[in-house]
Amino acid sequence: MDLNSELPKLDPVVIPPIPHRPFRCVGKGLRYGTFSRQLVDDLSSWPQRHPTTPFRRAKDWWRAQLLLYGLDADKHTTKVEVLTEKLKSAVGNGLEGARQTIIDLENELKVKFRIQNAEASDKNYLTRETDESRVEFYPKRFWMERFHRGKGRMSTL
């Protein structure tokens, strides 16, 4: 089942992110601060692609990767080396993906965000009184309603 194809589209995004400490969701997945989960393949292939260059990232990026995979991020450590070693160790020991609890939380928040955003977008669009303001707010929807399909929320744009 492709969860994304069954949910309302994100365009336009009109609501703020949904917080769920330590994460937030903006409809595409979980984020920790400004960071999203890096693919395991990218994490594991780094040493092969850049054998002499260390994988230099901000400390919060390393913490984000650990948390977004459901691993212990040791919130009290101030050393990036500790976080780096934890993630490298997890990847080296066969990390295949995020833990199921993280995936379930991510899916739950994506559904919640997309439904709330679609409702807010509909309300915002329908309360606009002029065609100009509707075009400005949501041009794709206005065009589809006016010239293509008739009335109703677009689910495929």
Instruction: Give the DSSP per-residue string, 94-138.
Output: T--S--HHHHHHHHHHHHHHHHHHHHHHHHHHHT--SHHHHHHH-
pLDDT in tens, 8-52: 888 789 999 999 999 999 999 999 999 999 999 988 887 666 655
- Rounded (10°) angle between helices 80-92 and 40-49: 100
Render the burial of 54-74: b for 16+ CB within 10 Å, e for the rest. Answer: eeebeebbbbbbbbbbbbebe
Query: In the Cβ-directed half-sphere of 38, how many Cα atoms lie within 13 Å?
Result: 19
Q: Which of 49, 59, 119, 55 is nearest to 83 (CA)?
A: 59
Q: Which of 5-14, 49-58, 77-86 has the lowest mean pLDDT?
A: 49-58
Q: DSSP letter at 155?
A: S
Task: Report strand pairing: 30-32 vs 23-25.
Answer: antiparallel
Tokens of 135: 């075009």
CA dist 74 and 72 (Å) reads 6
Domain boundaries, the chain: 3-129
pLDDT at 151: 52
Cross-strand bridge partners of residue 32: 35
CB neighbour class for 128 (10 Å; exposed up to 12, middle 13-18, buried from 19): middle
- Answer whether residue 66 shows pLDDT above 90: yes
pLDDT in tens, 109-123: 999 999 999 999 999
